[in-house]
Amino acid sequence: MSSMLNDPMEDGCPEAPGPGTFRAEPDNQQQPISQARCWCSLRRGCVVLAALMVLAGAGVGSWLLVLCLWPAASPSTSTLQEEETTVSCPGVSSEEALLPVLPKTVSFRINGEDSLLEAQVTAWPGWLLVCQEGWNPGLGLQVCRSLGHLRLIHHKGVNLSDIKLNSSQEFVQISSRLGDLLEEVWQPRDNCTSGRIVSLRCSECGARPLASRIVGGQAVAPGRWPWQASVTLGSRHTCGGSVLAPHWVVTAAHCMHSFRLSYLSSWRVYAGLVSHSAVRPHQGAVVEKIISHPLYSAQSHDYDVALLRLRTPLNFSDTVGAVCLPAEEQHFPRGSQCWVSGWGHTDPSHTHGSDTLQDTMVPLLSTQLCNSSCMYSGALTPRMLCAGYLDGRADACQGDSGGPLVCPAGDTWHLVGVVSWGRGCAEPNHPGVYAKVAEFLDWIHGTVR
């Protein structure tokens, strides 16, 4: 696949600095001209000076002539050399320093067939089973959300006598005085007074039951991306989307904004779909409500996310399922190998999307690099991230907007980005830009709740 929605920005990538090598906006085109005039005046002055000095003495005049003319020739030589090298971005090093990731004060995991909740507290070794004392459903919901799940499905107390434990197993109990996940309220224990520990089940997400390895950019097998949705207006595929729950799909706000005068009943969502030619009229789930982020800006593409509430729930199966949201404080560093998928254009020159779902792997890039003068010149906000290749080998394109950018954490896949915008498709030095899902977690949870 190629990738993304065209962006109105037309600023070019400046080449390596040097007189006469600028690719700038029209109002900046006087710069190389004025510099040429400067050098021209300097040369004339030097020639006049040299002529006067020759009258005074040939030796002194020749020396001054060389001294004055030499600097004028040097820049053009270095410019030719710079044009032959790869484009360099001022202020961005090829090896950018990674920002330190602060350790979480308390982490959770759900372990084993009994779905036992375990916690790891800073400065305390190992994973601790959670005592039921002080536990409540609100904490269960917080834990599920901190792991990237949308909902709490079930929680209960399990008798310690009913499970096999190591003799060295330790426990942790939450203070009954406070009801949040702060580290200071979790107290390590040698045992649980009640003799019961917490078992927790969250909404299923991020699994690929039928996943198979396929080279990026080729057709996708059923079940490879079970959360991939097609958002259609009438019978026309308009954008991609990602399934979060049976009733909820996330897409890009600009997809809905472009057709905001359309009838709500004309929107449908198809999940478990690989080929659009297999779609029958009036299949798919009818959209009951469109909720764009209230701060969405059509001019800057900021806050480019929207939630679709479906009238009837999707039927989850091996080919239809939910993607996990980013876990709390989860960090995917630059270079992480993530995947984007969709039915968009497979070539920038094509006018129609692909009938078959396509995917490709794209590495995450740092915002510092993407905001440099060689790329998007500061257009990325904190609600955006970018992914792709500097040589433009793979990207998303028109028709992929709203679709998922997913990254793996072990065997679980998390929705890291929503396809948003970019300059052209697969253009060198213009990778794809995505809405950063981690910045919208509170809004997503609040809206779905």
Backbone angles phi, psi at 206, to 5 degrees: 75, 5
Q: Residue 304 catalytic?
A: yes
List the catalytic residue out of 292, 341, 401, 420. 401
The vertex-324 CA angle with 319 and 328, nearest 5°, equals 175
Contact between 326 and 414 under an 8 Å Cβ cutoff? The reply is: yes
Q: Which two tokens stand for residue 157?
A: 């107390």
Q: Residue 247 catalytic?
A: no
Helices (H), 354-429: 367-370
- Helices and strands per DSSP (H, E), number in the chain: 6, 19
The SS3 assignment for 384 reads strand
The SS3 assignment for 46 reads helix
> How far is Cα 73 from Cα 43, in angstroms, rounded to an integer?
10
Exposure string for 70-95, b = 16+ CB within 10 A, e = fewer = eeeeeeeeebeebeeeebbbeebeee
List the catalytic residue out of 149, 155, 237, 254. 254
Q: Residue 282 catalytic?
A: no
Question: Which H or E run contains 421?
Answer: strand 412-421
Q: Which of 339, 308, 319 is nearest to 238 (CA)?
A: 308
List the catalytic residue out of 155, 199, 301, 304. 304
Q: Which of 165, 119, 112, 172 is nearest to 142 (CA)?
A: 119
Q: Which of 114, 108, 115, 112 is nearest to 172 (CA)?
A: 108
Strands of 160-305 (E only): list them.
Answer: 171-174, 186-189, 196-202, 228-233, 236-245, 248-251, 267-271, 285-292
So which residues are the catalytic ones?
Answer: 254, 304, 401
